[in-house]
Amino acid sequence: MHPVGFRDPFDRTLPPPQVVAVIPARYDATRLPGKPLAEIAGKPMIEHVYRRAAAARGVDAVVVATDDMRIEAAVKTFGGIAMMTRPTHRTGTDRIAEVAANLSCEIVLNVQGDEPLLEPETLEAVIEPLLADPMLEMSTVCVPISNRADYDDPNVVKVVKDKRGHALYFSRSPIPNRRTANLEPPIYKHLGLYGFRRTFLLKFATLPQTPLEKAESLEQLRALEHGYRIHTVETKHDSIGVDTPEDLERVRVRLKADTTDAVVSGFSRTTR
């Protein structure tokens, strides 16, 4: 039994799921090798991410996409679903597309494997516009930046959007430019969570990488440069991405203080 009672999304004899969350997880990382298996509050980080994604309303199944048998084994140990993928993918989204090609769902969520504090409500915010607008192909989320340090930090990706919520540009540079210390009107931090129409995801993975994507090292710019819209939803929930040992320790402290959280300690859902 999967930890949240999911049916197997790859089983074509069952009714197809509508929304599947896919978590790309590689073992090798320059700054923190093996981080998907890093222990946090007695569980590997990938399990925290998996359970939080599974807690989101509207998510019908969660799959870990990996190229490492150690991660696959860890996911199966806690009752999750994992799929081995090729080790040659350029990006996490390309890895997710390999999984999506074996699914029959309508919507695929790209959930970063190093976000153990991800709020389920944030995934719900990404799903909602795709359900509301059948013509929309891609969505993501942002959160207001409240301090100058994040605005200036190249590791914090910023996004500017139009009045309809469509992304105009993503950058590691401070955008929009501010001539004073005032951060009004709202300046937004982009959170690396995406929703795709499955058919568009498969198309996206075939598009050639673009100059701005390479310059910024931001794969979402591939979609904008090829002329596709990305709807950006504002959320109140920020998160901590684990890229360094210091990030990992911050997350451990947060979760140790919250071991009664139902998402972390376990929960039940009925089989769909």
Strands 61-66 and 82-84 turn out to be: parallel
Report the chain's mean pLDDT, rounded to a whole number.
89
Structure tokens at 217: 């090292």
> Which band of pLDDT confidence, cut at 50, 70 and 90, is reported for residue 183?
low
The CATH number assigned to the domain with range 19-240 reads: 3.90.550.10
Mean pLDDT of 7-29: 90
140 strand-pairing partners = 194, 232
Predicted pLDDT at 13? 84
Predicted pLDDT at 4? 55
Mean pLDDT of 230-259: 86
Predicted pLDDT at 120? 95
- Alpha-helical regions (H) of the chain: 45-54, 69-77, 92-100, 120-132, 148-152, 198-204, 211-216, 220-225, 245-256, 262-265
Give the Cα separation of 53 and 61 in Å (integer).
9
Query: Is the per-residue pLDDT at 241 higher than 70?
Result: yes
CB atoms under 10 Å from CB of 15, counted, come to 10
Of the ranges 33-47, 87-101, 118-132, 240-254, which one carries the lowest mean pLDDT score? Answer: 240-254
Structure tokens at 103: 């699914």
For 30-43, the pLDDT digits (tens) are: 778 899 999 999 99
